[in-house]
Amino acid sequence: MNNKLIAAFAAATFVSQFASASPKEIKLPQETATYKASTLPGYNLALQNCMICHSAQYVSTQPPTSSRAYWDATVKKMKKPFGAPLKDENIEPIVDYLVKTYGAEAQNTVKDPARPSTAGMSK
């Protein structure tokens, strides 16, 4: 193959890729890959601690009826035996975020995001 032909082929490939991949079409699957944004302190903690081994999909596919006790047990299980490098003081805020965003207490945050966190006050 001569150099001109290679250059022409490369240019054609480049142009066709450019034409077919408009930037607007490149979209990450936000719904499942990452955690739902929240003003609760556990949101950032989840981003930092819960995406080391798997995406947020395991969390978002849990039943919406999951209780605080369920999330507490699940987060503790990630630490031991699964080995998540979680600080003990971060477990409660993460559980609070999860139960209010994905679990049984979800309605509170969805309907009234301005409501202050009642971490540790309920039940």
Q: Is 40 in the site for ligand HEC (CB under 6 A)?
A: no
CB of 38 to ligand HEC, least distance (A): 13
Q: Is 53 in the site for ligand HEC (CB under 6 A)?
A: yes
CB of 116 to ligand HEC, least distance (A): 23
Residue 26 CA to its chain's centroid (Å): 18
Q: Is 99 in the site for ligand HEC (CB under 6 A)?
A: no
Return the percent helix, strand and coil in the chain, to nearest 5: 55, 0, 45
Tokens of 73: 């047990």
Q: Is 52 in the site for ligand HEC (CB under 6 A)?
A: yes
Q: Is 54 in the site for ligand HEC (CB under 6 A)?
A: yes
Tokens of 109: 């945050």
Angle at alpha carbon of residue 108, lines to 96 and 36, rounded to 5°: 60
Q: Is 74 in the site for ligand HEC (CB under 6 A)?
A: yes
Q: Is residue 122 within 8 Å of residue 95, measured between CB atoms?
A: no
Q: Which residues bind to ligand HEC, rule: CB under 6 A?
A: 46, 49-50, 52-54, 58-59, 62, 74-75, 78, 82-84, 86, 94, 98
